[in-house]
Amino acid sequence: MMTMLDVQQVGDRARQIHEAITNHPQYGRLTTSSMKYSPCWATYTGFPTISKWDLDTDNEPLLHEALRVLAIKAAVFELTGGDEVTAELLVPDPVDEMIHAVLAQFTVMTTLQADLGVQFPHATELEKFTYTLGCPTDQYYAAAGWGVPPQRYWLDSTVVEQRLAVLNQLYESVGIGVDGRSHNIDFDTLPAGTTPARVG
């Protein structure tokens, strides 16, 4: 269960942090480099749960959502005196994956933290993939003045589970294991230069 802070206080501080990020001289580099990271962050379990997902058109909106979440998490972290557990907010899988892409820009994020005097907490061992619509994360988001999170990306965990079940059936049909964690494709036995329609 998430600890609930004063919603408006978190929202106001998150908005301030977000504005500071977007006004920082390194903002352009952060956004450009995060989206160039796309070959590394196309996974099997987060982004593909978005209906008719397209890496080229969904990356920018997802980036905006990731930066908003990072601002909220930084606000919670600051207002709780550095409580990582409370700051590890519930976030939908697709947005969480984009957060990883942003945090991979280590040099820029380190500069932002130093210049803005904030920390962007993220601890994978504390992550829980049980985001539900209307949870405290949504309330902080609204209090920051950003309205209702776009439902295309802010998928309830029950919806994610249903879509993953569909995806895993499709993955299995081409020899890919559950959640894309394994496959039975033997590249050494395939003729050079061939792309089989079905493997396994």
d(CA 165, CA 114): 42
Give me the chain's average pLDDT, please: 90
Query: Looking at the predicted structure, is the pLDDT value of residue 200 above 50?
Result: no
CB 116 within 8 A of CB 21: yes
CB 144 within 8 A of CB 18: yes
Provide long-range contacts, Cβ within 8 A and 24+ apart, for 128-132: 128/88, 128/90, 129/93, 129/96, 129/157, 129/160, 130/90, 130/157, 131/90, 131/91, 131/92, 131/93, 131/155, 131/156, 131/157, 132/90, 132/156, 132/157, 132/158
Half-sphere exposure for 158 (CA within 13 Å, toward CB): 2
Give the predicted TM-score (pTM) of the model. Answer: 0.88
- The 3-state DSSP composition of the chain as helix, strand, coil percent (nearest 5) reads 60, 0, 40
Question: What is the arithmetic mean of pLDDT over 84-102?
Answer: 94
Give the pLDDT score at 177.
83
Which position has the token pair 């990072």?
Answer: 70
For 126-176, write each residue's pLDDT tens digit: 888 899 999 999 999 999 999 999 999 999 999 999 999 999 999 988 888
Q: Report which DSSP code applies to 151.
A: T
The helix or strand, by DSSP H or E, that contains position 109, with its residue range, turns out to be helix 106-116
